[in-house]
Amino acid sequence: MNSNHVSGVALICVSALVFSTAGIFTKGVEADAWAIIFWRGLSAAGFTVLYTFWRGTFRNEVRQFGAPGWLVAIFGAAGTAAFIPAFKLTSIANVALIWAAAPFITALLAWLVLRERPTAKVLVSSVFALAGVAVVVGGSVGGVNLTGDLLALWMTLMMAALMVVYRVWPQTPAALPAAMSSLLLLPPALAMSSPLQIAPAEILILIAFGLVFAIASVTLAEGVRRIPAAEAALLSALESPLAPLWAFLVFSAIPAVSTLIGGAIILAAVVWSQTSGPQRLKA
């Protein structure tokens, strides 16, 4: 692997680690989904813009924003609008299962748009990662809401499209499109909820959620510009076994045996996919 590829892998892994906490923030407050979206989005946008000023990249990102930046912002907003309600309407395990389809969806989009063929190792690893998440979900309790599952599927489609945009236009800035995706959701969030009426303690929690979401969004965007889209989506599957771990650490929720087994399969698949340099499938 070259240094650019290694840094891309590291950034995507950091993004998956941080994104895996989303279920904790969402399930840990009583606020409705749109109130969560409002405060998370407001704080995420603020932290992200401050980050660009701190790095001295704000003006450069404004100049490079362009149509690809708007595509990223729109796809990101559409994904987030489904992502948060999905956690309220279905289980974390089912969201994880549907998200595990991301490598396949991303690989298909990347092939259709870029003719970017995934490696044989990434394809095989993706199948094992999906099998691992299936094991996790197989041990979950029933009562899953179909609407939540469909929202999770929509979120997965939007994030796959976002990854492909960065592969088509790798010079698209990472920070400001992420901030704009949050800002786009503020008007509908205000219209569909009463975010100013939730408890101050929950507002502080959601501001912290905004900070970690900003970190996850920027590291994802920076990482996917450095490695193939399908590989980035596969690495993002690390989120699936990590989410139950956070639930155990924060809520003392003991993972089921199926969660431990499935999580081990996912981790093994991701590690195996990175054991040697990329070898692309031949046409």
- For residue 249, give the H/E element and its range: helix 239-251
Higher local confidence (pLDDT), 13 or 144: 13
Higher local confidence (pLDDT), 186 or 20: 186
Using DSSP, state whether 23 is helix, strand or coil.
Answer: helix
Residues 6+ apart with CB under 8 A from 151: 82, 83, 85, 86, 89, 90
pLDDT at residue number 142: 55
| pLDDT tens, residue by residue, 200-209 | 999 999 999 9
Higher local confidence (pLDDT), 81 or 217: 81
pLDDT at residue number 279: 44
* Alpha-carbon span 46 to 257, nearest angstrom: 40
* Cβ-based burial of 77 (10 A; exposed 0-12, middle 13-18, buried ≥19): buried
Q: What is the DSSP string of 89-151?
A: HS-HHHHHHHHTTHHHHHHHHHHHHH--PPBHHHHHHHHHHHHHHHHHHHTS-S---HHHHHH
pLDDT at residue number 138: 66
Residue 134 contacts residue 240 (beta carbons within 8 Å): no
* Alpha-carbon span 257 to 33, nearest angstrom: 30
pLDDT band at 134 (very low <50, low <70, confident <90, very high): confident
pLDDT at residue number 226: 86
Number of other CB atoms surrounding residue 236 within 10 Å? 28
pLDDT at residue number 143: 52
Does the pLDDT value for residue 249 go beyond 90? no
Terminal alpha carbon distance of the chain: 22
- Which residues pair with residue 119 across a beta bridge? 280
**Strands, DSSP E only, in the chain?**
none
The proportion of the chain whose per-residue pLDDT surpasses 90, expressed as a percent, equals: 36
pLDDT band at 220 (very low <50, low <70, confident <90, very high): confident
| pLDDT tens, residue by residue, 28-48 | 888 999 999 999 999 999 999
- Which residue is listed with tokens 């299936």? 134
For the entire predicted model, the pTM comes to 0.78
Residues 6+ apart with CB under 8 A from 21: 212, 243, 246
| pLDDT tens, residue by residue, 52-94 | 999 899 999 999 999 999 999 999 999 999 988 988 887 776 7
pLDDT band at 144 (very low <50, low <70, confident <90, very high): low
Does the pLDDT value for residue 259 go beyond 70? no
* Alpha-carbon span 199 to 188, nearest angstrom: 20
Could you tell me the two tokens for 145?
């809401």
Does the pLDDT value for residue 227 go beyond 80? yes
Q: What 8-state DSSP symbol labels residue 281?
A: P
Q: What does the pLDDT average to over 233-253?
A: 78
- Residue-averaged pLDDT of the chain: 84
Does the pLDDT value for residue 5 go beyond 60? yes
Lowest mean pLDDT: which of 7-11, 227-231, 232-236, 250-254?
250-254
* Alpha-carbon span 22 to 212, nearest angstrom: 9
- Which residues pair with residue 280 across a beta bridge? 119
Does the pLDDT value for residue 283 go beyond 60? no
pLDDT at residue number 209: 93
CA–CA–CA angle 67, 68, 74 (5° rounding): 90
Q: Which stretch, 16-20, 153-157, 200-204, has highest mean pLDDT?
A: 200-204
